[in-house]
């Protein structure tokens, strides 16, 4: 016998991630994943800056590294 509960269940199945609780949980997982990646990038950037300070290379390569750091630093800060 088909009743209103069947309609409700069918609608819920079609809604999928549109259900608020599911959507919030999915976004939370995405944000946590993003934060983990961002922290890893920040750590790698910190290591790059330290490597630049420790590097004894040609003035041309030093300039290239500093240019990249100066371009990337502000972008990273925006996140």
Query: For the residues 49-57, what does the mean pLDDT come to?
Result: 77
Helical H segments across the chain, by residue range: 4-15, 20-54, 59-78
pTM to 2 decimal places:
0.55
pLDDT greater at residue 28 or residue 61: 28
Asked if residue 45 lies in contact with residue 78, where contact means CB atoms within 8 angstroms, the answer is no
Per-residue pLDDT, 68 = 82
Contact call for residues 34 and 42 (beta carbons, < 8 A): no
Q: Give me 24's structure tokens.
A: 């919030």
Average pLDDT over residues 47-51: 83
Percent residues over pLDDT 70 in the chain: 92
Model pLDDT, residue 13: 79
Domain boundaries, given as residue ranges, for the chain: 4-78
Q: What is the pLDDT of residues 17-37, one digit of tens each?
A: 677 777 888 899 999 999 999
């Amino acid at each position: 016998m088909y009743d209103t509960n069947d309609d409700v269940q069918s609608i819920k199945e079609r809604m999928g991630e549109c259900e608020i609780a599911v959507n919030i949980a999915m976004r939370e997982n995405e944000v946590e994943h993003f934060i983990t990646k961002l922290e890893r990038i920040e750590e790698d950037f910190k290591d790059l800056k330290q490597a630049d300070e420790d590097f004894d290379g040609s003035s041309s390569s030093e300039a290239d590294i500093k240019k990249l750091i100066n371009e990337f630093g502000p972008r990273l800060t925006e996140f």
